[in-house]
Amino acid sequence: MEIIRTVSWMKQAARQARAENHIIGLVPTMGALHEGHISLLRRAKSECSEVFASIFVNPTQFGPNEDLSKYPRTFEADAEKLETAGVGVLFAPEAKEMYPSGFSTGVTVEGLSDCLEGQSRPGHFRGVATVVLKLFEIAQPHFAFFGRKDAQQVRILQKMTADLNLNLEVVVCPIVRETDGLALSSRNSYLNPEERRAATVLYRSLAALRDAISSGTRDSLTLQNVARGVLAEEKLARVDYAEIVSTDSFEPIARVGGVPAYVLLAVFIGTTRLIDNLLIEPASDCEQLRCTL
């Protein structure tokens, strides 16, 4: 695996792969790699002839009171995992390589970026969209792979890709979970043992909501109260938001069943902020709904 630190060298590698008629898959990450990231790499490997990964802890997507400086950095172990996963090129630039002095451009996907994560983390999605557009331009992928764990992020990136007529497809991959249901996240490493046990409450509340749907509940407020009830029982949990929204617009919906929907959670466990979601889709029999955790 080649490790590339500069934009110009990465562009050259992308040009060469394109000249060799490779189908390029890109998996952007912030490192501290876990099985969730590996699942994206596997998917990329299965659909593309050349897989590029990036590790870049993007400063512009962190708010002033967020965890940029303490974000876990495990570069050596990450590089080994990427090599094992069959990645051809790892792009791992320094911040000043991506944002040289005088950098002043930003990409804002209006509307979708304003609610939920965008409201709790002002400027976050502008940082994400800007760096991902740069990564797309630098690595020239045919396909880029993202996790449904960050559902609003991937929707925004799909919208950016469509609005700006980018020549690639954004692929959404399933959420990988621990055996007790906790969605894998680099931020799980912040949890102490007691918080780690408490953190399963996100999964448990989504599972309770799913069960309520199976029993026929369709009203969003009633469903939200099911999830909030489970969350309220966990003393270490503080809910930031628990909303049911259309997967397309991310606007709240009054009833589930009509259009594909997400139940989106952001919950503080101690000082660590975790997100998770449940996907609700109409099934072929219109009375039934398919729920995916």
175 contacts ligand AMP (rule: CB under 6 A)? yes
Structure tokens at 79: 């590089």
Task: Out of 34, 37, 124, 142, pick the active-site residue.
Answer: 37
Binding mask 131-170 for ligand AMP (x = CB under 6 A): ---------------xx-xx--------------------
Q: Which of 40, 258, 280 is nearest to 170 (CA)?
A: 40
* Contact criterion met (CB below 8 Å) for 246 and 261: yes
Binder among 14, 26, 40, 41 for ligand AMP (CB under 6 A) = 40
Q: Is 142 a catalytic residue?
A: no
Q: Where are the beta strands (DSSP E) in the chain?
A: 2-4, 24-29, 50-55, 89-91, 143-147, 169-173, 237-246, 261-269, 272-282, 289-292
- CA distances, 10 to each of 13, 92, 210, 272 (Å): 5, 10, 44, 34
Quick one: angle between helices 35-47 and 75-84, nearest 10? 30
29 lines the binding site for ligand AMP (CB under 6 A): yes
Q: How far is the CB of 161 from ligand AMP (least distance, A)?
A: 14
Q: Are 93 and 29 in contact (CB under 8 A)?
A: no
Separation of alpha carbons 75 and 193, rounded Å: 25
Question: Is 191 near ligand AMP (CB under 6 A)?
Answer: no
Residues binding ligand AMP: number (CB under 6 A) = 17
Start-to-end C-alpha separation, the chain? 34
* CB-nearer residue toward ligand AMP: 146 or 250: 146
Which stretch in 81-89, 181-189, 204-212, 216-224 sits in contact with ligand AMP by CB under 6 A?
A: 181-189
Binder of ligand AMP out of 36, 93, 127, 141 (CB under 6 A):
36
Quick one: 44 or 175, whose CB is closer to ligand AMP? 175
Rounded Cα distance between 12 and 6, Å, is 10
Interacting residue with ligand AMP among 90, 132, 184, 265 (CB under 6 A) = 184
- Measured CA to CA, the distance from residue 51 to residue 46 in angstroms comes to 10
Stretches 8-16, 29-37, 101-109, 133-141: which one binds ligand AMP (CB under 6 A)?
29-37
Q: C-alpha distances in angstroms, 264 versus 63, 98, 174, 211?
A: 21, 31, 15, 16
> Does the protein bind ligand AMP through residue 183 (CB under 6 A)?
yes
In the complex, which residue's CB is closest to ligand AMP? Answer: 147
Cβ proximity to ligand AMP, 83 vs 225, nearer residue = 83
Q: Which residues are catalytic?
A: 37
Interface residues with ligand AMP (CB under 6 A) are 29-30, 36-37, 39-40, 146-147, 149-150, 173, 175-176, 183-186
